[in-house]
């Protein structure tokens, strides 16, 4: 079985727990995910099955969408509800306008400092490993992009928000940062991912009934729809199988006329044969030498 199963992860299990459940449910060895969700978080968790695991790095590149609850008044050691409070709770006397302005300051490309308890590596060690040992180390900021934050509601010390962001963004860190901006502290109390790249809740199966998703697996040929497709017949399929380049005469349709980063090579039935990288085109897209498509990842044996 090859493809992607989109799971609506329930609260409690880790992302790796969901991988193990899927291995058992489908009798597969090769299963992976495209982006970790914390145990208390819920929502979209795309799981790559079989040969789709080789596409995980591409499938995880898309925009993420989250709904989250931020509690204002104090920060925690983990930037979420699982950590010990760093201060006594403060009274929060803010209005919706002030919270909205603080959130607006976080939109755009920014240097985000990861949570102390996170999987980011420092000199070969996970930050959470160092934090659990009581070792304080500098945490280097990394550029992330917040495409938009919408304040869905604010009452008392609770702010409900929706975030559209780049991969690698820590929503826990956003909760911490908006609390710091408002001068009252803050942390994340609930998180639900509603979209990860091409995958949304509308195509997800319940995480407590993964076996029911056997007919919901997205096949290889339907993945990465934004990547241009090139169609080949039996002769082109044979060239791909042997790792040979494809010239314009080896494809039925779709050979790129301009510069593109990569293409999907499909057979006449829509099965994914390979991802290929164009070679022989100049910066403007005009051919400099005989252009070819070089197989990068091959899925046909």
Buried b (16+ CB within 10 A) or exposed e, 230-265: bbbeeebbebbeeeebbeeebbeebbbeeeeebbbb
Helix (H, G, I), strand (E, B) or coil at 258: coil
- 83: part of which helix (H) or strand (E)? none
Long-range contacts of the stretch 15-19 (C-beta < 8 A, 24+)? 15/45, 18/45, 18/47, 18/207, 18/210, 19/47
> Could you confirm whether 215 is annotated as catalytic?
no
Helix (H, G, I), strand (E, B) or coil at 87: coil
CA dihedral 212, 61, 160, 80 (to 10 degrees): 90
CA dihedral 215, 218, 221, 224 (to 10 degrees): 170
DSSP assignment, residue 195? E
Query: Which of 2, 8, 38, 250 is an active site residue?
Result: 38
Buried b (16+ CB within 10 A) or exposed e, 83-99: beeeeeeeebebeeeeb
Residues annotated as catalytic are 38
């Amino acid at each position: 079985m090859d493809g992607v199963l989109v799971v609506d992860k329930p609260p409690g299990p880790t992302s790796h727990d969901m991988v193990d459940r899927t291995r058992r449910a489908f009798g597969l060895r090769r299963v992976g995910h495209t982006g970790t969700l914390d145990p208390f978080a819920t929502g979209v968790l795309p799981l790559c099955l079989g040969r789709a695991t080789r596409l995980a790095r591409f499938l995880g590149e898309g925009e993420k969408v989250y709904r989250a609850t931020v509690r204002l008044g104090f920060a925690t050691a983990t930037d979420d509800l699982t950590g010990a409070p760093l201060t006594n709770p403060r009274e929060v006397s803010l209005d919706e306008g002030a919270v909205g302005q603080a959130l607006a300051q976080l939109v755009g490309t920014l240097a985000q400092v990861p949570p102390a308890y996170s999987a980011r590596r420092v000199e070969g060690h996970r930050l959470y490993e160092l934090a659990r040992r009581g070792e304080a180390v500098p945490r280097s900021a990394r550029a992330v992009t917040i495409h938009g934050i919408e304040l869905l509601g604010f009452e008392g010390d609770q702010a409900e928000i929706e975030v559209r962001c780049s991969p690698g963004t820590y929503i826990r860190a956003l909760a911490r940062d908006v609390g710091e901006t408002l001068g009252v502290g803050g942390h994340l109390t609930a998180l639900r991912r509603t979209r990860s790249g091409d995958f949304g809740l509308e195509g997800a199966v319940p995480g407590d009934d993964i076996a029911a998703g056997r007919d919901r697996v997205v096949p290889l040929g339907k993945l990465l729809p934004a990547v241009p497709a090139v169609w080949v017949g039996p002769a082109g399929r044979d060239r791909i199988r042997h790792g040979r380049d494809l010239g314009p005469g080896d494809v039925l349709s779709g050979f790129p006329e301009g510069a593109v980063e990569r293409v999907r090579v499909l057979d006449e039935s829509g099965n994914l044969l390979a991802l290929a990288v164009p070679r022989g085109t100049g910066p403007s897209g005009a051919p400099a030498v005989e252009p070819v498509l070089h197989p990068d990842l091959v899925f046909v044996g």
